[in-house]
A and B are shown apart, each in its own frame.
Chain A
Amino acid sequence: MKVKKMVSLLLGGMLLVAGLGGCGREPVSVDGERVDAQATQIAGEGASSGSKGRFMESEVLLPENVKGILSAALLADGSIELFARSADSDSFGVQVSGDGGESFTALSLDAGQLEEVFDAYMFSSAIRSDGTVVGLMSNSDKDGSIMAGIIRPDGSMEKKELIIPNLESQNQKYAATPVDCAFDTAGNLIIENLNSYFYRADIENGTCEMLIDLEEKNVRYFGIAGNQVLAVSEDGITMVNSADGTAWEADGLLDEMIAADRSLTDKNSEYGRPLAFAGGGGEDMIFYVNHQGLFGHARGSSINEQLIYGPLCTMGDTSVSFLNLMMVDERQFYLTIIEGSGTSKLLKYVYDETVPTMPEKELKIYALKDATFLRQAVSSYQKNHQDVFVSLQIGRSGEDGVTAQDAIRALNTDILAGNGPDVLILDGLPVESYIEKGMLKDISAVVEEIDGSEGVFENVKKAYQKNGAIYQFPARFYVSLVNGDEEALAAGASLTKLADYVTGKKAAGESKIFPMRGAAELLEKLYYADSAGWFDESGKLKEEALKQYLSCAKQIYDAEPHESENVDYFDPELDASLFGSLDAFGVVMKEAKLGYGTLVDTSELVMLHSMNQQHGWNFGPANTDAVKGFGVYQLAGILEGTDTAECAEDFLRTLFGVDCQTLSYNGFPVNRTAYDTLCEQEKHAYDGNEGNAGVSVSTTEGDDYHLSFVNLSDEVVEKITGILTAAEKPVCMDEVIKEIVLEQGEKALKGEMSVDEALNEIKQKCNLYLSE
């Protein structure tokens, strides 16, 4: 009996534990990003245990004359040396700071000699610990050698030829093309050529010794930590002793941390890399920095110590690439980076034992989809608010098969459980419903503040004002345009005229009239041009407007051949409107008679303007007979009742502020100062080079076509500003309605149902949705 009782107790206990245990939840963020989850955990631990000590980042102000850093190094005497492009010329300059970046002194260089020494394209450069700068160029006069331009610490310069050995065993064309170079601690210059052969060069006597052949490894880039040459490839990291060329055993941990991560095995800019190495604190020590942070690792050991959590500072900005990591000691180091915009920076990191290991405050930002612009804004905010830990949660990473609805359900569950985010990027979320339920905070104070100091587009602000409050506000916006000759411009005034234009051309025996690759793309283009006027004041769907949209789309679609319809060129998931679907290039490529679609940034406008200048065309707003609509991107709001409302508002100030608004090109900035700055830049982008820069393409008929870029004119800026300011209402950004309309519309266009049937389906589904 006792045994029976024991068994029943045991079984009962097991059932209870199994039942409760099965409901445990991993403390991961919505997108399941491992690092964020870890950081949250660390933040929690740090906050609760009160542990102190963290590297604090500050930006070193560069001399005005520095345009772009090419190389940087910490010299033997502790000073910092930069080899950089000069802002006032196309030449180079050397800047030295002996006081940790407080001030810089330019090395006096003879301009004429500099031009002589660096007379060819420089592939790579490096600085030796004594201050000697080396820039590598290919030798156009002689095969099998590399030219090294050398600048001595005293300002003297010379050009040396470095003879490449082992030419016979490799592709000779690539052998003399240096890809990258770096100095080891002994002062040897390590060179990698295009065949992934590594050499140790003595720049004093011009000799080169073969270090190792890694042609088979598909090396992406390399770095040096002390005397350890670390060549990164997808297969792993090859570690070679720069003194004698012997390869060390593979380091499993380093391979796992770096080589296994695809984002770290691609060189992401001409000069920068997704990772930089440095030595220090021992012969076998390797320090490396990437977007995850700064790590320290002793070769062959099983410990990889994270010294800095990347997302807390500039390192976390995924648009940034790294140049040089310079370790002063274990409490201080420097880092040179290139931002996504191309600006290079020198950053200083100093260990501060008085600040908490992880910030005590946490700001949670949620977006359904990841976006470079958002990442840049987060990084920009994080840099200026090191006392706040920003946790960016992405609902749909795009790799886990999570649907938008799954992600919204998870988000809503978190909100209901009181674990919701502080800032919501509302693109794709049921924003009207959130506002109706009082879930969003009035952010009019933030918008008014930005408006007062930097200005915002008044029409956009007005469109988002609701009873004097603003609950959502976009960071970027864009409009639909039509581009072409006078006839095309007139046709773009309304969907009816556009459809008549297409059928008229078709009747005249012409083909390839409207720029589209299928029904879905056509419907989406017209959707952005027309949907702003589909709802009346009470929010009811206007049947006539929808019918006209479907009928015109059908008329255009039927007038075009659809040989490529089965080819899935168009992916609605990519949200083509954001990439600018105007496709004016299609006209010169003989794929269409007019350009039609969204224009999303000033650089696109430059191309459009250049093309119009070349052909005597023009652009104008699309569908002006209907309500003038605009599309929006990165619509932001703050969740009502958040504990960190102040931080959330600060983040919005960053998001809508001029610094962040001039960073990205997915849409025009809502910030007027940023918009004016971008326009001004494009007015002078090709100063002294107008007509020379451009692109060459082959048309579908095999003809060569060259487009020369020209500066934006005042008239064009005035015109596009007029179109942007005249836009009255956001297009229908409700994902449910958009999906219903596009899905049924596609069936109507493809003949699976009539336009009336599609209209009835849309009406029925939309009314059901609206009545909920």
Chain B
Amino acid sequence: MKKKHTGILFVLPHFLGVCIFLFLPFLDVVRRSVFRAAGSFCGLDNFKTVLANDAFRLAAGNTLRFTLVCLPLLLVLSLCLAVLVYGVGRAAGALKNAYLVPLAIPAACVVLIWRLLFDAHGMVNGVVTTLGGTAVDWMNTGSAFYVLVGSYIWKNLGYVVVLWMAAMDAIPGTVYEAARIDGAGRIASFFYITLPCIRPAAFTIVVVSFLNSFRVFREAYLVAGNYPHDSIYLLQHVFNNWFLDLSVDKMAAGAVLLSIVICAAVWMMQRMWEDQ
């Protein structure tokens, strides 16, 4: 009983922090979502306005598309890399650190590199034209979306690889030894031992990667500002711009909708994992 209380004491500060700085403000956001900016009650009007708003719909579509493209790509690539790195033995530590480097690079530096590479007169176009190709305005055409996808994968790959490897570390070596004695090869071991054993961790990794996909806004904003190309106009752009012109009503309604979608997605994933 005493042990239980000690644990609560450790959790309490963070829990209070979450309540004060996240939960209570979120309740205020929910309240504001049914009021106009000037303060009068408007029921669900703000939700209707937001759902009918072209900018919100474009941004929601782009965000969904981005998540659907990035998430599977990131999970598969990172898992493959994790398996490969895990297999190299002693050098795994060094490789793991190397993959974590992008995480340590400040966003402002990433943006600078990004500009050097993908500007209309940048290095990538320099290479393309040298090879006889046609220069592409990477940031002002549909290709901006793929630049953003690439940036997200590059930045988060190492982190997810480390998470996968941590999950693999937890699998007892004896299980693999037993399988090897029974004649299982590396592929069979991966499908029948590794994958089932890392499945509980996979849920956390998917949720973390899903939530991280919303953080790519920082780079997109720093490179292309408040109004980037249509294809990389994300939900955070809309929220940011709404805050600038004090559209708190729309922002609150949009945030509530987004929260519902995220919670529903996480809940569905959890259900899927539990069912399996």
B248 at the interface (CB under 8 A from A): yes
Residues of A within 8 A of B20 (CB): 20
B27 to chain A, nearest CB (A): 15
Q: Do residues B242 and A772 form an inter-chain contact, with CB atoms below 8 A?
A: yes
Q: Do residues B246 and A434 form an inter-chain contact, with CB atoms below 8 A?
A: yes
A412 with B241: in contact, given A8-B10, A12-B12, A438-B37 (CB under 8 Å)?
no
SS of B interface (majority): helix
Q: Do residues B244 and A768 form an inter-chain contact, with CB atoms below 8 A?
A: no
Q: Do residues A11 and B10 form an inter-chain contact, with CB atoms below 8 A?
A: yes
A408 to B248, CA, bound (A): 14
A439 with B14: in contact, given A768-B233, A769-B227, A772-B242 (CB under 8 Å)?
no
Q: Do residues A439 and B38 form an inter-chain contact, with CB atoms below 8 A?
A: yes
Interface size, B (range): 35 or more
Interface size, A (range): 35 or more
B window 1-56: CB within 8 A of A: 2, 6, 9-10, 12-14, 16-17, 20-21, 36-38, 53-55
Residues of B within 8 A of A416 (CB): 246, 248
Residues of B within 8 A of A415 (CB): 246
A16 to B13, CA, bound (A): 5
A750 to B61, CA, bound (A): 34
B189 at the interface (CB under 8 A from A): no
Q: Do residues B246 and A412 form an inter-chain contact, with CB atoms below 8 A?
A: yes
A409 to chain B, nearest CB (A): 6
A772 to B121, CA, bound (A): 31
Q: Do residues B245 and A430 form an inter-chain contact, with CB atoms below 8 A?
A: yes
B247 at the interface (CB under 8 A from A): yes
A575 to chain B, nearest CB (A): 20
A170 at the interface (CB under 8 A from B): no
Q: Do residues A430 and B244 form an inter-chain contact, with CB atoms below 8 A?
A: yes
Residues of B within 8 A of A566 (CB): none
Q: Do residues A409 and B244 form an inter-chain contact, with CB atoms below 8 A?
A: yes
A620 to chain B, nearest CB (A): 37
A window 380-420: CB within 8 A of B: 405, 408-409, 412, 415-416
- A412 and chain B: residue at smallest CB distance: B246
Contact code string B135-146 (vs A, CB < 8 Å = 1, else 0):
001001000000
A9 to B12, CA, bound (A): 11
A761 with B53: in contact, given A19-B13, A736-B226 (CB under 8 Å)?
no
A9 with B9: in contact, given A430-B246, A437-B247 (CB under 8 Å)?
yes
- A408 and chain B: residue at smallest CB distance: B244
A740 at the interface (CB under 8 A from B): yes
A638 to B269, CA, bound (A): 50
Q: Do residues A16 and B12 form an inter-chain contact, with CB atoms below 8 A?
A: yes
Residues of B within 8 A of A752 (CB): 120-121
B window 211-263: CB within 8 A of A: 226-227, 229-230, 233, 238, 241-249
B window 94-149: CB within 8 A of A: 120-121, 137, 140
Q: Do residues A16 and B16 form an inter-chain contact, with CB atoms below 8 A?
A: yes
What are 7 A-B interface contacts by the 8 Å CB criterion?
Answer: A15-B13, A16-B16, A19-B16, A20-B20, A416-B246, A768-B230, A769-B241
Q: Chain A interface (Cβ within 8 Å of chain B)? A: 1, 4-5, 8-9, 11-12, 15-16, 19-20, 23, 405, 408-409, 412, 415-416, 430, 433-434, 437-439, 640, 736, 740, 752-753, 761, 764-765, 768-769, 771-772
Q: Chain B interface (Cβ within 8 Å of chain A)? A: 2, 6, 9-10, 12-14, 16-17, 20-21, 36-38, 53-55, 58, 120-121, 137, 140, 226-227, 229-230, 233, 238, 241-249
A-B CB proximity, top 10 nearest: A438-B38, A433-B245, A437-B37, A430-B245, A15-B13, A765-B227, A16-B13, A771-B54, A772-B55, A12-B9
Question: A19-B17, A416-B246, A640-B38 are known contacts; what are 5 more A-B pairs with Cβ within 8 Å?
Answer: A752-B121, A768-B58, A771-B54, A771-B55, A772-B53
